[in-house]
Amino acid sequence: MKARAWMPWFAVPTFVLLSCVVSDDFHIANEDASCLSSQFRCAGAELQQCASSLDQWETMQVCSSEAMCDPAAGKCLDALCQLGDRRCNAAVLEGCAADQQNWTPEATCASPAHCNASQGMCTDAPCTPGQVQCSGAELQTCKLDQTGWSLTSTCASPALCDVTTKSCTAPACGANQYQCSAGTLQKCNDGRTGFVPVSTCATPALCDAVGGKCNEPACKAGEQRCDGSNLQTCNPMQTGWVTRAVRPPAKRATINAAAATF
């Protein structure tokens, strides 16, 4: 009689370890970002301030134009006038300066009544009684004695002074007012006749009308990172992270190393 041969049966504990590993493909070096505390600079029309980390710049506001960005004052300037605007300063015809903060003399007329800012010229004859002109933001009426112009009303901006209707047009928006149209940041133009685009944000959710800027993305589209053993992916609007939980590791598994043989 043959003896039966028995092979020992035993369980081998194995542990399955899961880990989250993400490559650093999305890292972008921030070159020339060193700055000083409370320092401002202009990047085009963007007013930027040195971040608290002193190694990068943060956009504080988007100005109407690069000329309106003042890093020394740390703010966006309000335009006094727009290029092409004119006014009469007594008998002197003046035009809006390039910095939009001052007026530049263009011509000296025979008298204040010979200065016509709406026509942008010195006229041969004085104004006629009841005639109106827009001198900067002022709606003016020619005096009865034809010695000059008298103030009728002051408009919100030169662009809102209307000679045809002899009135001031109501502003379409407020000074330094912003709005978002999808991912485009828009600002009330200097004439306050409507909104103009000033910046295109990375996503619509990053458009900040209250702050007057495009917020920086919290992450890049498709970027991934680890939070412990959990994998996180940047959300489509780039405002934060979405956690995709990784299954917890299996505590123990057993395998049959050998089977009984008869």
**By three-state DSSP, how is residue 98 classified?**
coil
Residue whose C-alpha is closest to residue 244's, from 259, 224, 216: 224
Tens of pLDDT along 32-85?
A: 558 998 899 999 989 999 988 898 898 898 888 888 899 999 988 888 899 999
Q: Would you say 240 and 227 are in contact if contact means Cβ atoms under 8 Å apart?
A: no
Q: Which pLDDT score is estimated for 155? A: 97
Tens of pLDDT along 205-225?
A: 999 999 999 998 999 988 999
Tens of pLDDT along 118-127?
A: 999 999 999 9
What is the distance between the terminal CA atoms of the chain, rounded to a whole angstrom? 13
- The structural domains of the chain, with segments of one domain joined by +, span 86-168
Residue 167's Cβ-side half-sphere holds a number of Cα atoms within 13 Å equal to 4
Tens of pLDDT along 133-173?
A: 999 999 999 999 999 999 999 999 999 999 999 999 999 99
Residue whose C-alpha is closest to residue 191's, from 165, 164, 173: 173
Q: Is the pLDDT of residue 110 over 90?
A: yes
Q: Is the pLDDT of residue 4 over 70?
A: no
